[in-house]
Structure 1
Amino acid sequence: MPSIPPIEATTSLTPQKKSPSHYLGVAILIVLVAAAPMIVGAAGGNYWVRVLDFAMLYVMLALGLNVVVGFAGLLDLGYIAFYAVGAYMAAFLTSPQLSTQFEWAAHLWPTGPHFPIWVVIPVGMAMAALFGVLLGAPTLRLRGDYLAIVTLGFGEIVRIFMNNLDRPINITNGPKGITGIAPVSLFGFDFSKTHDLFGVTLPPVYLYYYLFVALSLAVIFICVRLQHSRIGRAWAAIREDEIAAKAMGINTRNVKLLAFAMGASFGGVSGAMFGSFQGFVSPESFTFWESVVVLACVVLGGMGHIPGVILGAVLLAVFPEVLRSTMGPLQQAVFGHEVVDVEVVRQLVYGLAMIIIMLYRSEGLWPAPRHEDRIARLAKRNKAAGA
């Protein structure tokens, strides 16, 4: 009986080593991210730096939703509710709202709690994660359209509660919102004031940009570790085939609840920073349209692909503002006056751009590389190296 020849070592798949051009590209990206507020501020003023600030908030939101939609394959149309929970928790912990409405709070904090950032962020994450579990628990048996409808209703319930919890006991101040939210202060460093660092004058919008970039990098690190962990592989198995994943021994209930909780916690961080940055929160900031925009960031960028989601979030945060500032002057230059309202034209072009992208880039602007393509590429490279 002939013996089976052993498999040669040259056929094994080894990880691809990073080329010098890869490290050069990373270095250029770091420089661009660090210099972005300087460049944008010099070209368009602090308004456009503020747009960059909101782009970083959208990056955190989109990465959180990507955990639910991209990693676990669970369609969530009420994700903005967790953003609202984080924002209102920052308002309760750093504004005089509780002290003015409740006697027990006035005894503890006469001028308001004013908790530091290292308390606000964990509490915002924890409360948002709790709400994520509360959303996920009743929906464990739902998928697709049914899950989308339930999550949509959950998001609207949270917004309506925030809008109406001003009576009989005033908790959220209703549609008037909560003002007086304290800005971020870290070890006595107030991000709401202009500071001179290393001979460079940095206004508050610049400082908040760097803070949001640091938080976004932390979220990216956690997402990368999750994606390549055992939990990430379990999420991928549920996304591809939940019945097969359950047959393989995966506890789909706990894994899905973890996806909702983790994704919601990132939304809570973004919401807490939004409240501190604005100094004011109201239910108008957490409408269904905001959930649609965040979902569009994930889908247009590339579901499940972290760099693609970041690209989608930045583009959808910046592109509408570019349209807002250019549609009016463009009509003036072409027709001599505004033919159509600027906001109408902006929404029209915005929607048309998304339709075109979905028609010609159905997997997103920067889709995740397919596993089969990666294996084939590594096999081809190893074969060439062996030859």
Structure 2
Amino acid sequence: MTIRESKKLWLACGVGLLWFLILLWPMLGITPDGLEFGKTLTVFGYVVVASVIIMLFYQIQQAGKLDAVGTPLKAATVSVQGLYERTPRWVLLSIVMGCAIAYPLLTERYAHDVAIQVLVYVCLGLGLNIVIGLAGLLDLGYIAFYGVGAYTYALMSLHFGLSFWLCLPVAALTAAIAGCIIGYPTLRMRGDYLAIVTLGFGEIVRLILNNWMALTNGPNGILSIPRPELFGYSFRSLSSMYYVILGIAVITILSVYRLNYSRIGRAWEAIREDETAAELMGVNTFLLKLLAYAMGATFAGFAGAFFSARMKFVGPESFTFLESAMVLAMVILGGMGSIPGVILGVLALVALPEVFREFELYRMLVFGGVMTLMMLIRPAGIWPAKRVGRRSEEAE
């Protein structure tokens, strides 16, 4: 690295730290008692020291002085990757499934709660992955289908006395119908226009849930939603509810995997890459995009029904645009079109903030910085989807 490049790098680091100070001081320096600078400068000092250490480490690495350490690590990484590729898939899946089944037996109530939340978002993330990752349709109102599934179970269980297991497919079907209703007039649009329209429809659904007092009880929500029961056994504890959502998540993963490697999945990928070319090749683009919306909404309906059963309460404030943005961030961060990537994205956005909860205000600040850095280092996501086949330019 030349001296000029080094100066540019340090100048960029200094400008970034200055912006960080400008953003940090209003958060920590403005208090009810007046203005203070001590706390801001303390936190800023820690960040400056960490940034300088990282910069020095980066320059040493660029100079090639860490090759003696990096080469063995790279070789170890390659060997581990080779071992992973040689291991039969059923062995890996058996280990993961065994750990998932034993998880509630080895952890406490708080860990059960976090795991349930993770699995709910896995269902949501994989459903949105069909729409965005496979079909390439930017949907900013996806959480509306989550709300439709939740309210479907709440209303049918209270007014008709139906069990959770009977309402579960009905909630998924209702969400799929809602997806078709929303998708039919919007899918003729593309790009930013599609995103804006789906955002509008998501807000319309939330406002309907908030204002239709006779059906949804408006902002007061619906209370006393029954928990699932099976052969007289009531799933009241968090550990038992964990196994319910684990089963739903496993079904979701298997379904999305089969869809991904089916002819429909290939058609979705063709639409994502070039919709005009796919249509010229005989792909019914409109029908398949509508199917992508319906299938994505189906898994959101499953998650919504479980959410209302677990919370025993459902209200419109649970289905805001922020939730849609959160699920979208999980899909993009993990890797669009990749099932393991989406699961890792959910863990990164749901589980990690809980791990660092003791840092209170700083945890979200650090978390946002790590997310930004992650997208700069790996823009394709934590675990990008593997392309089937190779392009001609890649072969060259």
Which bracket does the TM-score occupy, shorter chain normalised?
A: 0.7 to 0.9
CA contact (8 A) 1:64 1:267 kept: yes
Whole-angstrom CA distance in 1 between matches of 2:105 and 2:393:
43
Whole-angstrom CA distance in 1 between matches of 2:90 and 2:104:
23
Query: 1:53 maps to which residue?
Result: 116
Whole-angstrom CA distance in 2 between matches of 1:35 and 1:375:
47
Select which of 132, 135, 151 maps to 2:182: 135
Alpha-carbon distance change, 140 to 367 in structure 1, aligned in 2, over 3 angstroms: same
Whole-angstrom CA distance in 2 between matches of 1:373 and 1:321:
40
Query: 1:191 maps to which residue?
Result: 235
User: Which aligned pairs between 1:120-159 and structure 2 lie closer than 5 A?
Assistant: 120-159=167-206
Q: Give structure 1 stretches of 5+ with no counterpart.
A: 1-16, 96-111, 193-203, 328-341, 380-387
% of aligned pairs identical?
49
User: Which aligned pairs between 1:365-376 and structure 2 lie closer than 5 A?
Assistant: 365-372=382-389
How far does residue 38 in structure 1 lie from its aligned partner after superposition? 2.7
Q: Which amino acid aligns with 1:220?
A: I
CA contact (8 A) 1:117 1:186 kept: no
TM-score, length-scaled by structure 1: 0.77
How far does residue 350 in structure 1 lie from its aligned partner after superposition? 2.6
Whole-angstrom CA distance in 2 between matches of 1:185 and 1:54:
20
1:178 aligns with 2:222: yes
Q: Which amino acid aligns with 2:97?
A: I
Query: 1:213 maps to which residue?
Result: 246
CA contact (8 A) 2:127 2:299 kept: yes
Query: 2:212 maps to which residue?
Result: 165
User: Which aligned pairs between 1:65-80 and structure 2 lie closer than 5 A?
Assistant: 65-80=128-143
Select which of 98, 102, 107 maps to 1:31: 98
Task: Output the aligned Cα RMSD.
Answer: 2.2
Whole-angstrom CA distance in 2 between matches of 1:21 and 1:215:
25
Q: Which amino acid aligns with 2:341?
A: G
- Secondary structure of 1:246's aligned partner: helix
Whole-angstrom CA distance in 2 between matches of 1:26 and 1:177:
40
Q: For each residue in 1:270-312, what CA deviation from the matched residue of structure 2 results, as whole angstroms up to 9, or x when unmatched? A: 0000000000001111111100111111111110011111121
Q: For each residue in 1:291-348, what CA deviation from the matched residue of structure 2 results, as whole angstroms up to 9, or x when unmatched? A: 011111111111001111112123322122223x221xxxxxxxxxxxxxx3x43432
Query: 1:352 maps to which residue?
Result: 369
User: Which aligned pairs between 1:1-387 and structure 2 lie closer than 5 A?
Assistant: 19-20=86-87, 22-41=89-108, 46-95=109-158, 112-166=159-213, 170-192=214-236, 204-323=237-356, 325-327=357-359, 342=360, 344-372=361-389
Whole-angstrom CA distance in 2 between matches of 1:255 and 1:143:
14
Whole-angstrom CA distance in 2 between matches of 1:239 and 1:62:
18
CA contact (8 A) 1:114 1:182 kept: no
Alpha-carbon distance change, 217 to 376 in structure 1, aligned in 2, over 3 angstroms: farther
Q: Give structure 2 stretches of 5+ with no counterpart.
A: 1-83
- Secondary structure of 2:282's aligned partner: coil
Whole-angstrom CA distance in 1 between matches of 2:152 and 2:95:
37
How far does residue 373 in structure 1 lie from its aligned partner after superposition? 6.2
CA contact (8 A) 2:157 2:164 kept: no
CA contact (8 A) 1:300 1:364 kept: yes
Whole-angstrom CA distance in 2 between matches of 1:365 and 1:18:
18
Whole-angstrom CA distance in 2 between matches of 1:346 and 1:18:
35
Alpha-carbon distance change, 163 to 356 in structure 1, aligned in 2, over 3 angstroms: same
Alpha-carbon distance change, 151 to 182 in structure 1, aligned in 2, over 3 angstroms: same
Alpha-carbon distance change, 256 to 21 in structure 1, aligned in 2, over 3 angstroms: closer
